[in-house]
Structure 1
Amino acid sequence: MRLAHLTDLHFGAEVPEVVAALRDDLAGRDLDHVLVSGDLTMRARAGQFRAARELLESIGHPWTSVPGNHDLPLFRVLTRAFRPLSAYRKGVGRRAEPELGSGGLQVLGLSSPKRYLSRNGRIDAAQVARIGTAFTGPAGLRVLMLHHPVFRPAQRPGQPLVRGAEQALRAAARAGVDVILCGHDHVQAQADLALTWPGLGRHMIAVASGTACSRRTRAGESQSYTLLELTGDTLSVHVRHWNDGRFETLSETTWQRGADGWLPARAACRS
């Protein structure tokens, strides 16, 4: 099973040459699915959603996305108050919280930006309950995806986490979730959530990717996305970043599945 994780495309603030290289890099890969964890646009405008969708449709792989805080209108106050996801639903798809079950992959997407809590986001009680019921039956990999972070990357240790993170992670651990994908911080990072949230009872992998193709890079990093490859009980996580006109591998981490979840087996960096 081969997956790509993209986030924070921010069309409206995209870098055209990075968009083109990202398209080529993804289109040339054998992928089962592309997962996009929000902020497809900069200001939730129709043209920005159209450009994001055109990119995702052009890579030739099935894809699934959830909204980010920038996918809610900032200045259209009434729309934000009463129909915050109307432009997202029209431009991307009606399901802001998709479920996917195919070929041993189970995915639950959650919409973490709220109309009055969009910047830092929230996972509410109903969403926590969905985590507990969405993952059923055998699966090779169970993935929970949302825009806002559930852990603090080393590059941005002071950043706030999504509200309701602890309750959501406890529900995810009980449901046997393997990987949690998020974005928002515009940096690439991975974490064993049993270490950052003691008492979970399960080692789950948290993966954050940088901005995929926008100029809004942070912490001295370039644009990036993440490849995940599952072979048996081994999950390889490859960070691909923009460098010298193309995307190339920045780092590789191998995780091994055990009785209580996933532990890192090996990490390597490439200069």
Structure 2
Amino acid sequence: MTEPLVIAHLSDLHLGADVPAAVASIADEVAAFEPDLTVVSGDHTMRARPSEFLRAADLLDKLPAPRLVIPGNHDLPLISPLRVTAPYARYRRWIGEDDPVVRIPGLTALGINSMPWWRWKSGRVTPEQAVLIRQVLGQAPPADVRLLALHHPPFAGGPARLVGRSRLSQALQAAQADVVLFGHTHVPAVEQTPTHLLLVNAGTATSYRTRNLPRSWTLLRIHPTAIEALERFESTPGTWHTGRVIHLLRR
């Protein structure tokens, strides 16, 4: 039997608005599942302060590698000239590049920076990023799982709607993407579109800024014909358990 691909998906760490017990336990909690890839989909800090980025970098280094890490809206300075002159400088110094790619056997994964400096907290996908999705995911080996990660919910409506949502949808379809991982809402959710695209929203893993649910992260086990999503919730500070287990079909 072929071993499944195991992907750990964390989001919204918010170092600076965190629960110390959750921060102290999360790396060992994730490592216990031996993921093939760890994805952290933005908002590593609360206010993009250097001290918060240092703590975030330390925590990210403790999470299992390889890692796919992208920025969120809280990773840009909020009220500062840097918001205009160098909005991503601190993120790039302490965390990494904006649109990273990870390739491992059986998986091609792309992360995109969906946070423009000129929006307050909602996101966008640029024409260049849509091309990148088509190139990186669309040209992946035929048997690969094709995964995109961004911070913002890709198909939200209203004020939270992505600028460039249509181009994102078209690029995902053209690239035959399998999985999209995101965060931002602090509310875990897993759903599948009629085309079998899996949408996974991770909760907040280490912040006290919860939305009527415990802190959480999501584990995916991807089999040739099915995907198993385990939502891992914190029952007491630093203690984690499996909540929902969701089974979905692969295309």
One fold, TM greater than 0.5?
yes
Unaligned runs of 5+ in 2: none
Residues 15-34 of structure 1: pairs in structure 2 closer than 5 A: 15-34=19-38
Query: Equivalent residues in 2 for 1:228-239 (5 A)?
Result: 228-239=220-231
Q: Which amino acid aligns with 1:250?
A: G
Distance in 1, Cα, partners of 2:24 & 2:158 = 33
1:249 aligned to 2:242?
yes
Correspondence 1:86-235 to 2 at 5 A = 86-93=89-96, 95-135=97-137, 136=139, 137-152=141-156, 160-194=160-194, 202-218=195-211, 220-235=212-227
Contact 2:204/2:210 (<8 A) preserved: yes
Distance 1:43 1:165 in 2: 27
TM-score (norm 1): 0.86
Q: Post-superposition shift, 1:60?
A: 3.8
Q: 1:185 to 1:17 in 2, by over 3 A?
A: same
Equivalent residue pairs, number? 244
| C-alpha contact 1:189 1:207 (8 A) present in aligned 2 | yes
Partners of 1:73 and 1:91 lie apart in 2 by: 14
Aligned-residue sequence identity (percent) comes to: 36
Measured after TM superposition, the shift of residue 118 of structure 1 is: 4.4
Contact map agreement 1:66 1:98 (CA 8 A) in 2: yes
* SS of aligned partner of 2:160: coil
Instruction: Tell me, in whole angstroms, the C-alpha distance in 2 between the residues paired with 1:165 and 1:189.
Output: 19
Counterparts of 2:31 and 2:133, CA distance in 1: 31
Per the normalisation by structure 2, the TM-score is 0.92
C-alpha distance after superposition, 1:170-208 (max 9, x if no partner): 2101101000011101100112234xxxxxxx3201100
Amino acid at match of 1:87: R
**Contact conserved, 1:27 with 1:61, CA < 8 A, in 2?**
no
Letter in 2 for 1:253: I
- Whether contact under 8 Å (2:196, 2:249) holds in the other structure is no
1:42, distance to aligned residue in structure 2 (A): 0.5
Answer 1 or 2: higher relative contact order, Cα 8 Å, separation at least 6: 2
Unaligned runs of 5+ in 1: 195-201, 262-271
